[in-house]
Structure 1
Amino acid sequence: MTAPLPDLTPAQRTEIELLARGKQDRSRTLRELGYSETPEAAHALLLRLGLWPESRTPYADRLHATTVPLNLPVPPFPDEPRLDLTHLEAWAIDDEGNRDPDDAVGSEALPGGATRLWVHVADVAALVPPDSPLDEAARSRGATLYLPDSTTGMLPDALVEQAGLGLHGTSPALSVSLDLDAEGNADAVDVQLTTVRVTRLSYTQAQQRLDAGDPAFVALARLARASRALRESEGAISIDLPEVRLKADEHGVTITPTPKPEMRFVVQECMTLAGWGAAIFADDNGIPVPFATQDHPTREVRGEGLSAHWARRRTLARTRFQQSPGPHHGMGLDVYVQVTSPMRRYLDLVVHQQLRAFLAGADPMPGRVMASHIAQAALNADATRQSERLSRRHHTLRHVAAHPEREWTAIVVDRRGPQATLLIPELALDLQLSSSAPLGSEVRVVLEGVTLPTLGVRARIV
């Protein structure tokens, strides 16, 4: 028999909400009602009382990841010398509806058959110098928070509007160039402050240009394929697991597969090359930057099924960021930095600040100061990423609860004794249950017993 719902005073409701949001550790009200004094118990009671809707997610609050927009003033771009590249075409290619275009790609043919790849990145560091109020605010956030029902920028929307590539006729940029031969080898790399002219495209629009044989897009695809082949020859790991777009509001949840046209791979490869080129430039010029390094995978995994890709991901060591260059074995590169998302990731912004200081003839931050900034931001970025992961699971389970009788196709991607890990590609959701189904097999499951406060769900094989 279900216990009667308590009649709470406004003060008691506030006390329980604070516990559910992780803003206090105890609740006298819950204790007197016989409930556990945990955020999950508080959340469950708020749902039962109808005080919180099922769409309410408390994870950002609990992890101290802010959901309040940043509204600090943004300075104008400084008047300074820049290389004018407005005669070259460049494209900011992203998902439909993207609101923070911070990178773009283009290329030009060179004498002798080589091609110069250009990766332009919004010159955010021109507006956010180290230890400025904007820098300190971005550091306190660590990264942009992308939730299924909202986005909270690491930097103000006004800065995105001012610096975003393709939002104006021309844009200031920090541009990485790589002169590549037909096999993807780099003959020269450079980093410069530039002015660029950028056109925004969705991945679908870019793919249409490639399919139509547009020479510029064919050239980019050829470079990307050669680069990927070269990195794979150096041990780069390919992991292809299901991805979905998840949108949520108080009315419901929509989940759709993320399209993977070739142009998505092309853009990703160009961004990888930009990180490689920027790292070479920093190393050659003695610029302190956080180099991204990764040890060898713990073992080799063969095969191309979902279970193989799942296992391959588990072999990857955690990426480390250090002041000295070193190999990133998962990417098959001898040196690498993250450089293409300074609007969205503080680590990328620091790389830009260091490169820009060098290019402007100023002194970059000393290594110890840079390391201190990164360490502070890393803690906040971890909270942001965890908030995103938990919120996505929450809304995915809302979607599951709305289809209680539905059978879902799942793949057994891992086994640990009698326990199997199932992956439902349509939801990009993994879960564990007891099953003797062999690794890699396909099963049909019904998901039942969704419990949002604990993010729990039971699976039953049909």
Structure 2
Amino acid sequence: MIAARGGPNFFELDAAASAQNSPYLIFTADGPFPKEIDDGINVEPLPSATEAYRVRICIADTSSAYYRDEVVKHAQTLVEARYLTPQGSEGYTPLLPEPFIKQRELKAGQTKSALVISYIVGENCPPTDVDVQFGNVEIAHNYTYRRFGSKCRFSPEKQPIARAASLTRAQLGVGWNSASVLEEMHSGSFCESSSTKLRDGERITSTFMVGGCHLVGRWLKERDLLAIYRIHDPSDTTLAEFIDTSVARFSQSPGRHVSLGLEPYCRVTSPLRRLEDFVMNGLLKVYAAGDRNVGTRDERVVLETVRALNQRIASAQRDSRKRQTTAWLAHAIAKNSSAA
């Protein structure tokens, strides 16, 4: 199933549909034992001369906790949620208070407030008409990646989701090995092709999330708004004394992310488990309300968050080097002992 051809201007129809202000029906996809369900998808085929879709990436609204200093400080010490086992609660350290997570996560059968990143993408239309707002979403189903991928492959109702992912990947393109997707896009056989790379539910979901983070970064950069960007630019030696230039880091200034082939890139899709996404969720709530002026607290929180994130990266690098050195010494000692 693909979007209908012909008919009125799809920008006008899409605007009229959005004006109804009814909750968007979304689907989520995650691993078999998710601790935090914080992102979902809504894809709407649009009538146009060529295939086109309105994509809505819907993210749990955690903005209220952004104004609680004790929550922010605790999150800055953790940087991210920690998982030692894939099942149960053993070894799980949440980024945010667990009651808050349960209250805000996108559980099926509920209506929740969410950050909604929307854009139009089509066969002849790179992601455009990007909008960042908060609104209500109705969660239809929490799928596992495997089940979601199967639905997107075989269900006529869900096939537009896979098509929109294919078009998003093909249009943004660089860094995502999209040659086969481009071929399938033009042949119109994406869902049936045995060579597809997006048949898997995790790949479909990650395509939307990576694309959404790039489009939000672009939206923020165009407006010169305070933000936290993830950059990966080996030519940038600003923090080379502390962090290897081959490693991605964080900055208040937009920059290249060479491993993704995208610029800029701002993580926003996992606010229940990643510090940078959580802070950006609070800032985006301010921006979506039309307020472009941030206060000294916002500037301080962003500065402290960037510092905490980069310190964690530097610390992880030091630990990795120590392990490598220890392993090398153990190997050298064992080799010398056997030679003796």
Q: Same fold (TM over 0.5)?
A: yes
TM-superposed CA distance for 1:351, in Å, is: 1.3
RMSD across aligned positions (CA): 3.7
Q: TM-score, normalised by structure 2?
A: 0.70
TM-superposed CA distance for 1:323, in Å, is: 2.2
Secondary structure of the residue aligned to 1:185 is strand
Aligned letter for 1:209? Answer: K
Q: Are the counterparts in 1 of residues 127 and 168 from structure 2 also a CA contact under 8 Å? A: no
Q: TM-score, normalised by structure 1?
A: 0.53
Aligned letter for 2:74? Answer: A
Q: Are the counterparts in 2 of residues 292 and 320 from structure 1 also a CA contact under 8 Å? A: yes
Selected match of 2:255 from 321, 326, 346:
326
Q: Are the counterparts in 1 of residues 45 and 160 from structure 2 also a CA contact under 8 Å? A: no
CA distance in 1, matches of 2:223, 2:20: 20
TM-superposed CA distance for 1:373, in Å, is: 2.1
Going by fraction, where is strand more abundant, 1 or 2?
1
TM-superposed CA distance for 1:110, in Å, is: 2.2
Q: Which residue of 1 aligns with 2:181?
A: none
CA distance in 2, matches of 1:179, 1:370: 33
The alpha-carbon distance between structure 1 residues 380 and 291, as it changes in their structure 2 partners (threshold 3 A), is closer
Give runs of aligned pairs for residues 288-303 of structure 1, distance below 5 A.
Answer: 288-295=226-233
Give runs of aligned pairs for residues 42-121 of structure 1, distance below 5 A.
Answer: 84-86=21-23, 88-112=24-48, 113-121=51-59
Give runs of aligned pairs for residues 276-355 of structure 1, distance below 5 A.
Answer: 276-295=214-233, 317-355=246-284
The alpha-carbon distance between structure 1 residues 379 and 147, as it changes in their structure 2 partners (threshold 3 A), is farther
Secondary structure of the residue aligned to 1:153 is coil
Going by fraction, where is helix more abundant, 1 or 2?
2
Mark the runs of 5 or more structure 2 residues left unpaired by the alignment: 1-18, 179-197, 236-243, 335-340
TM-superposed CA distance for 1:375, in Å, is: 3.4
Deviations 1:34-75 (A, max 9, x none): xxxxxxxxxxxxxxxxxxxxxxxxxxxxxxxxxxxxxxxxxx
Secondary structure of the residue aligned to 1:96 is coil
TM-superposed CA distance for 1:381, in Å, is: 4.8
The alpha-carbon distance between structure 1 residues 215 and 332, as it changes in their structure 2 partners (threshold 3 A), is farther
Deviations 1:203-240 (A, max 9, x none): 1221221232x2343212122223333444x34579xx
CA distance in 2, matches of 1:385, 1:168: 40
TM-superposed CA distance for 1:347, in Å, is: 0.7
The alpha-carbon distance between structure 1 residues 383 and 164, as it changes in their structure 2 partners (threshold 3 A), is farther
TM-superposed CA distance for 1:358, in Å, is: 1.5
Aligned letter for 1:201? Answer: Y
Total equivalences in the alignment = 276
CA distance in 2, matches of 1:352, 1:162: 16
Q: Which residue of 2 aligns with 1:205?
A: 147
Q: Are the counterparts in 1 of residues 233 and 255 from structure 2 also a CA contact under 8 Å? A: no
Q: Which residue of 2 aligns with 1:61?
A: none
Aligned letter for 2:201? Answer: M
Q: Are positions 1:163 and 2:104 aligned together?
A: yes
Structure with greater Cα Rg: 1
The alpha-carbon distance between structure 1 residues 98 and 293, as it changes in their structure 2 partners (threshold 3 A), is same
Aligned letter for 1:98? Answer: P
Selected match of 2:117 from 173, 176, 200:
176
The alpha-carbon distance between structure 1 residues 183 and 321, as it changes in their structure 2 partners (threshold 3 A), is farther
CA distance in 2, matches of 1:291, 1:177: 20
Q: Are positions 1:221 and 2:157 aligned together?
A: no
Q: Which residue of 2 aligns with 1:377?
A: 308
Q: Are the counterparts in 1 of residues 40 and 59 from structure 2 also a CA contact under 8 Å? A: yes
CA distance in 2, matches of 1:163, 1:359: 19
Q: Which residue of 2 aligns with 1:134?
A: 71
Higher RCO (CA < 8 A, seq sep 6+): 2
CA distance in 2, matches of 1:296, 1:225: 29
The alpha-carbon distance between structure 1 residues 283 and 379, as it changes in their structure 2 partners (threshold 3 A), is closer
CA distance in 1, matches of 2:71, 2:168: 36
CA distance in 1, matches of 2:270, 2:82: 13
Q: Are the counterparts in 2 of residues 237 and 331 from structure 1 also a CA contact under 8 Å? A: no
CA distance in 2, matches of 1:206, 1:119: 16
Q: Which residue of 2 aligns with 1:262?
A: 200
